[in-house]
Amino acid sequence: MPDKFYIVKKGYDPIAVDEHIKRCDEYMSHLEETIKEYKLKIKTLEDRLNTYITKEAAINNAIINSQISADNMLLNAKNAAETIVQNAKKQGQATEDAVDKRIYDVMRSVAFQKQYLQETRQEYDKVIIGFREMYDNIIRKFLHTSDDGMFRLVDDKIEALENFLKRLHDEVDDDADDEDEE
């Protein structure tokens, strides 16, 4: 494209001016087409950029929502774990209390049974001592008298004592069996 026009008789050379205008027109058309293409590319790129921006915002929202959801799940899991631990502690304490009460009850029952057994043994020992004293008295009387009435009296007393001792022995055995069952 010439920037200068040659001067001819009546002014500038019309053919050169026409050619220059034609070339300028072609160049302008070409520039306009290029501008249209660039505008179209810019529009396409802006649309794509907007799509990416929208997707990025959606991804960011999804990440934020996922993080919030994860935090909520973690908090819920911690709360559930704390509840489970508290319930387990309560149940453990209740079980421990029940076991302690049962142990206390058993120990108390054993103490009562031991006391009863001790009292029964003391009574048994008193009966045996009384029996021995009575036996000694009977023998002394028997040695001083020798009639048949005395022999019957001694036999009756011995039989009564044997029956009493047998009943007492059976009661002690029954109590011991009941204690073993508990």
- pLDDT tens string 61-102: 999 999 999 999 999 999 999 999 999 989 999 998 999 999
Residue 120: predicted pLDDT: 84
Residue 166: predicted pLDDT: 76
**Cα separation of 96 and 102, whole Å?**
10
Q: What percent of the chain has pLDDT over 90?
A: 41
Radius of gyration over alpha carbons of the chain, in Å?
62
Q: Name the more confident of 173 and 101.
A: 101
Residue 32 has pLDDT above 80, yes or no: yes
pLDDT interval class at 144 (50, 70, 90):
low
pLDDT interval class at 164 (50, 70, 90):
confident
Q: What is the pLDDT of residues 51-64, one digit of tens each?
A: 999 999 999 999 99
Domain boundaries, the chain: 7-181
**Cα separation of 145 and 151, whole Å?**
10
Residue 14: predicted pLDDT: 77
Residue 135: other Cβ atoms inside 10 A: 14
Scanning the chain, the segments in alpha helix (DSSP H) are: 14-144, 148-181
**Cα separation of 82 and 55, whole Å?**
39
Q: For residue 3, what is the DSSP state?
A: S
Give the range with max mean pLDDT: 11-15, 17-21, 138-142.
17-21
CA quadruple 59, 64, 67, 69: dihedral, nearest 10: -100
Q: What number is the average pLDDT over the span 29-46? A: 94
Residue 5 has pLDDT above 60, yes or no: no
Residue 33: predicted pLDDT: 95
Q: What number is the average pLDDT over the span 100-113? A: 90
Residue 11 has pLDDT above 80, yes or no: no
Mean pLDDT of the chain: 83
